[in-house]
Every structure is written in structure tokens, then in C-alpha cells.
């Protein structure tokens, strides 16, 4: 959606080199963000499992 909107906002004009570079950076940043989000989601699931299996404070004494 972000890329679509960016391009749509520039539909009526010719893209300059700086515009193309900016677009490539946006696409790269979005791709990297999606990769990082997948890693975070995987780590979160592991942490959540550990939290659920930790002994309660009452059982520690």
C-alpha cells in the first residue's frame, strides 16, 4: 500500500533519478522491516512459551 500510494501521488509527473532512488530505498526499508517483523514474531513466541512455563514465585520458596 505504501508503494502504491507513493507511485499514485506521482502519477502525473516524470520521475527524476532522486525520486527513483527514494522509491528504491522505501522498497528496501519495507522489505527489511517485514523480515525483522518475522524474526520478532518468532522470538516473541519463544519468549511467551518460556514465560508460561516459568515456576510461580510461590514454588520458588
Q: Where are the domains of the chain?
A: 2-53
Q: What angle do CA 46, 60, 47 make, to 5 degrees?
A: 10
| pLDDT above 70 for 2 | yes
| pLDDT above 80 for 56 | no
| pLDDT above 70 for 54 | no
Q: What is the DSSP letter of 55?
A: P
Quote the pTM value: 0.67
Amino acid at each position: 500500500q505504501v508503494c502504491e500510494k507513493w507511485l499514485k501521488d506521482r502519477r502525473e509527473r516524470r520521475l527524476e533519478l532522486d525520486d527513483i532512488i527514494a522509491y528504491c530505498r522505501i522498497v528496501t526499508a519495507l522489505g527489511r522491516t517485514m523480515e525483522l517483523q518475522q524474526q520478532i514474531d518468532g522470538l516473541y513466541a519463544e519468549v511467551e512459551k518460556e514465560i508460561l512455563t516459568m515456576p510461580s514465585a510461590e514454588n520458588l520458596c
